[in-house]
Structure 1
Amino acid sequence: MSYSFATGGPEYLLGVNNAFETPLAAAFIGYYGCCCGDTWSSELGVLSRKMPRLITTGKECKPGTNGGVTTLGLVASAAGGFAVGFAFWCGGLFVPVVTGNVTLALQFAAQWPVLVIGLGAGLVGSLMDSLLGATIQFSGYCSERRRMVSKPGPTVTKTSGLNFLSNSAVNFVTASLCALILYYGTIFAGIPR
């Protein structure tokens, strides 16, 4: 919303306009790359044939444990972040073409670093989410439902984490941190110069 308000909504090239637009665009990619990466890792990581390992200890844990990671889940998180970067890049190519600004579309073709930004946000965001999930989000095994749950109860045996943040709160904190890191990272890196 800040980006649209500040720029009037058009796509801008990263690194060539004022120092306000580029960090906001990077934060946008970071936020949604993190969200998509986390979702893909959760949904696809449970399909792994290998047992997940708790990110804080490296020990095997039951599938569905907050903070449990698998190789398949990490690959899925990177792919999810890449998908967001790719969507941003495609939008930057196609929107100017539709509006008749082919020159800007050709310039945007060189903006491939958004693919790397998205991939990194998906992977790093998923790892940060797993770290928070393993430490400040509750995980327990429910003997009645015979599965991992995120809330304590009379039939639940705690396996990891504190009952401090819910899954939604962990997701919000992680995605916001990714956005802030990319926002200030672009400023620190001097983009645009």
Structure 2
Amino acid sequence: MIEVIFLILFIGATSVCGYFLKLLTKSGSIAALIVGLTVGLSFGVEGLLLLGFFFASSSFWSKYKRKNKINIENRHEKGSRRDWMQVAANGGTAAFISLLNIFFPDSIWIYGFSISIAAANSDTWASEIGSLSKRSPIYIRSFKRIEAGTSGAVSVLGTFAAICGAFSIVILANYFFHFSIGEMAIIFAFGFFGNVIDTLLGAFIQAVYKCEICGTEVEALHHCGAKTTHKRGVLIMNNDFVNFLSGFLAAFLGLLFIH
């Protein structure tokens, strides 16, 4: 009981700090509290620290050289401060798997949990670090160079960052949960694959809008103070939905492979 109380207080304090440090909105702070409690009660302090590393590292890269990313943020629906939908997009799968482990305990869930965090970290590092590339990324729909920050675009720097993001989670997860080399390879492969899925969904399915004021293609419903026009993609498939779906599919496919 004392451990549970400490866990609740620790997660609560972390969520509040995230809000005051302007890393989370109010809704994001509440969502982080819920996700953190679920993960902590299921996978203990180790699972919480793995989740915490993702949140801390992704927040760092989101803020890193932010002035260089202003134009990119203006084209996206949201900035670097995460709301509840962004928290759910990146931590929802981990929370769902944690619930499964609470109600249906099985050692296999730790693999799905680790893959989901690796996928989220891989995708976030790819986006945040890749956007700083000096060369424009290549859009996989046309294989032509396009503006940095465009969903469905890849760069050498972004791909390297994605590999490092997945690998860092694998190393940390192994320290906490003691995987075999083969298990580490599977977690890494499907974690990185989550980033690949995100890229494919971003290029071919994610909703894209056009600003009627400046003519720019954006991912936001409003731009230049006016409502944008839907150009292509599935309306409900915004960036948050794509992030959630890519992490969920990576974990699901990874569990199928392991099982």
TM-score, length of structure 2 as denominator length: 0.53
Q: Distance in 2 between matches of 1:28 and 1:69?
A: 26
Equivalent residue number for residue 101 of structure 2: 3
Equivalent residue number for residue 51 of structure 1: 136
Equivalent residue number for residue 172 of structure 1: 244
Q: Does 1:36 align with 2:105?
A: no
Match of 2:255 among 158, 165, 183: 183
Closer, same or farther: CA 70–39 of 1 in aligned 2, 3 Å: same
Q: For 1:65, give the aligned amino acid.
A: T
Instruction: Show the 5 A alignment for 1:38-187.
Output: 38-92=123-177, 108=178, 111-140=180-209, 142=211, 149-153=218-222, 154=226, 161-187=233-259
Give me the identity figure in percent: 27
Closer, same or farther: CA 50–157 of 1 in aligned 2, 3 Å: farther
Closer, same or farther: CA 30–87 of 1 in aligned 2, 3 Å: same
Equivalent residue number for residue 45 of structure 2: none
Structure 2 residue runs of 5 or longer lacking an equivalent are 1-97
Closer, same or farther: CA 82–53 of 1 in aligned 2, 3 Å: same
Q: Distance in 2 between matches of 1:160 and 1:46?
A: 23
Closer, same or farther: CA 65–139 of 1 in aligned 2, 3 Å: farther
The structure whose RCO (Cα within 8 Å, separation 6+) is larger is: 1
Equivalent residue number for residue 107 of structure 2: 21
Q: Distance in 2 between matches of 1:117 and 1:32?
A: 13
Q: CA RMSD in A?
A: 2.7
Q: Distance in 2 between matches of 1:158 and 1:186?
A: 40
Deviations, residues 100-136 of structure 1 (Å, cap 9, x unaligned): xxxxxxxx4x723343233323321111101111122
- Structure 1 or 2: more helix by fraction: 2
Q: For 1:186, give the aligned amino acid.
A: I
**Greater radius of gyration (CA):** 1
Closer, same or farther: CA 125–88 of 1 in aligned 2, 3 Å: same
Structure 1 residue runs of 5 or longer lacking an equivalent are 8-19, 93-107, 188-193
Aligned length: 158
- For the 8 Å contact 1:66–1:130, the answer to whether it is kept is yes
Q: For 1:177, give the aligned amino acid.
A: L
Q: Distance in 2 between matches of 1:30 and 1:145?
A: 40
Q: For 2:236, give the aligned amino acid.
A: F
- For the 8 Å contact 2:138–2:155, the answer to whether it is kept is yes
Q: Distance in 2 between matches of 1:53 and 1:42?
A: 13
Deviation at 1:5, TM superposition (A): 4.9
Deviation at 1:163, TM superposition (A): 3.0
Deviation at 1:88, TM superposition (A): 0.9
Closer, same or farther: CA 156–70 of 1 in aligned 2, 3 Å: farther
Q: Distance in 2 between matches of 1:149 and 1:160?
A: 11
Q: For 2:249, give the aligned amino acid.
A: L
Once the two structures are overlaid, the 10-residue window that deviates more, 44-53 or 133-142, is 133-142
- For the 8 Å contact 2:187–2:254, the answer to whether it is kept is no
TM-score, length of structure 1 as denominator length: 0.69
